[in-house]
Amino acid sequence: MSEKKESVWAGFKAFLTRGNVVDLAVAVVIGAAFTNIVNAVVKGIINPLVGAFGTKNLDSYSSCLKGPCEGAGDAATGVRVLWGSVLGATLQFVITAAVVYFLMVLPMAKYLARVEARRKAKEGTQEIVEVSELEVLKEIRDTLVAQRGSGPGGR
């Protein structure tokens, strides 16, 4: 039983020392900080734009399914659908996804494509060099064979 515990512990240690865990931890920290930025953009820009047509707070938009819909919080009556909250969360998600895609994913994909193109170009030149060296060696061999055949002791 102690062998099983040791192997579980060793596996856990190996998991923690892999680079993926550190990358994930960094991503969580950056994501948490980024969430604050997105929330500020929605609260400071999107909500006032929506407020130009109605109320500044998206959470206050709702529809009443079964009336009468009066009051707020625990004292509310009726059945309300809070579609403003859903709209606000959707806007936050779309803004977050767009910023992550355009500022992180797209530049990284372009960078990795350039690195791959450079690597392929480097491999291509190495193949050409290797082929040309092989051709030169064949020519030297053929010349030596020809010289040997036409030499004074010709075969």
**What are 26-45's pLDDT values in tens digits?**
788 888 888 888 788 877 88
Mind listing the pLDDT tens digit for each residue in 75-128?
Answer: 667 777 888 888 888 887 888 788 778 887 888 889 989 999 988 888 777 666
Containing 64, the helix (H) or strand (E) segment is strand 63-66
Nearest to 58 by CA among 70, 46, 71, 69: 46
Q: Is the pLDDT reported for residue 1 higher than 60?
A: no
pLDDT the model gives residue 76:
67
Q: Which two tokens stand for residue 11?
A: 């596996």
pLDDT the model gives residue 151:
61
Which residues are paired to 80 by β-bridges? 64
pLDDT the model gives residue 135:
82
Domains of the chain from N-terminus onward: 9-65+79-121 (1.10.1200.120)
DSSP type of residue 85: H
pLDDT the model gives residue 114:
92
